[in-house]
Structure formats: C-alpha cells, structure tokens
Amino acid sequence: MRNWIQAAAAAFQFLSRFPVRANLDYSDTLFRQSVKFYPLVGAAIGLVVWIAALGFTFLLPPLPAAVLILILWVGLTGGLHLDGWMDTADGILSYRPREQILEIMKDSRVGAMGVLACVLLLMLKLSLIYSLIVDGLDCSGLLLLPLIWSRWFMVHAMSSWPKARGKDGLAGKFIGLDKAQIGATLVIALVLSGVVASIAPLIMMDRYTWTIALLGWVTLPLSVWATGMWVARKMNATLGGLTGDTYGALNELLEVVALLMLVLLYNHL
C-alpha cells in the first residue's frame, strides 16, 4: 500500500501543480510505478477545472469564462505538456536530420515554430471550451474525459515505441514498463471515465447528455487511440523513437482531439 501511495504522489507531483507534500526518491522504478496514476491526475485536474467552470460560467459571459478555464487548465499542469508541444514543434518542423532535430528539442529556448504551434493549439482549445460552454456541456462533467484519456495514451506511448535517446533523458526513466502497469493504467482510465459518463446525465437530466455520455465513453478513447497511434508512428519514423517532449506533445494534441469529439457529438445529435 505504501508503494502505491508513493507512486500516486509521484504522479501528482510530476504531472501537476497540486500541493502534494511528500519527500520522494525519484528513482526509475518509482517513475515506472507512477504511470498507472496518470489518468487519475488527469481526472483530478479535470475535476478542479470543471468546478471552476461552473463558477466562471455563472458569473461571466462564455468567452471570458472560457479564457479563465483555459488559464486554470494550463496552470494546473505548470505548462509541462505545452513545453513538450513547443519543443517537439521546433524540432520536427525544422525538417532537419534526426540528430539535429533531437538537439533542437533539447534546447531550452523556444523558436518561431514552437511559438506558432502553441498559439494555434491554445486558440483551438479555447474555441472548443467556448463551444462546450455555449452548448451547456461544461456543466455536465464530461470535460474530465479528455484529460483522462490523453494521459492514458502517454503511458501507452511509453510502452509501445522505443526511446529516441535510449536511456538518456526523461523518456529513459520509463524503459521497462511491465504489462501490469500498462493494464492498471487502462483499468483506472476506464473506471474513471465510466464514473464521469454515468454521473454527467444525472447532473444535466436530459436525453441528449445520456446519449453524448454513452457515445463519449466509447468514441473518445477510440479517437484518442487512433489519432495518437498515427501521430506517434510519424514521430517514431522521424526521430527513431519518442522522447519526453513528444509524450507531452501527444498529451496536448489528444486533449484537443477529445474536446473536438465532444463538440462534434453534441452538434450532430
């Protein structure tokens, strides 16, 4: 039990800015054990964002409410995944040879492509959050689903593709993930999203939310998996593996894909 608590604390300390006070020895073993709690971290961030969204949308018009929701969303992650998104964009969109791309991604400075990719991503995410507010889905709790499944796919990516830098870098800490960790991550993601999909219709009390929740529980994981597989394969072909930055980039991209799926479901039912 103590190992599980330490692993959960490590996941929250690493992926979020929640004030988790625990003195941990960040060994490679602890990093590997912590991945099963990544969907739980996503759900916790989503829960805070959702509760805040209820207040923002009650007090403010949709657009400023959406902006504040996005600020809170980014703030709770410390911009960790956005940093990976920008570094990955700088590297891959430079169209240089593999070794040069990896060097560019290691550079702490952000280039033009990284800034452009960040701005466009945040604009799209903001517009999707705004659409959910206008449609009333922000109140349903379904906002948690993108954060759960994007983090599940990070773990799937860690176990499915080689590490571009071998044992060096952040990605090297996740070498040797066993099937038990992968299976536990999937089970936790399924349980959490099942709870969200079950509660959302009870909050909204309308037949459309029942349908969206049911379809979302099925289609969101599938859309995240399909998009993530395609993009990760492209990255793997370019880099000869994945890195810590690409894990963050995948998380950011798949959050947007899942949000887009929610908007599409509502507008076509």
**In degrees rounded to 5, what are phi and psi of residue 163?**
-95, 125
In a domain, 9, yes or no: no
CB 250 within 8 A of CB 232: yes
85 is in which domain, residue-wise?
36-267
Q: What is the pLDDT of residue 38?
A: 96
| Start-to-end Cα distance in the chain | 45
Q: What is the pLDDT of residue 178?
A: 82
Count up the domains in the chain and report the number: 1
In a domain, 2, yes or no: no
CB 78 within 8 A of CB 19: no
In a domain, 22, yes or no: no
| pTM of the full structure | 0.93
In a domain, 30, yes or no: no
Mean pLDDT by 10 residues, the chain (269 residues): 83 92 82 93 94 92 95 95 96 92 90 95 96 75 90 95 88 85 92 83 59 72 95 96 95 96 77
In a domain, 28, yes or no: no
β-pair partners for 163: 242
In a domain, 15, yes or no: no
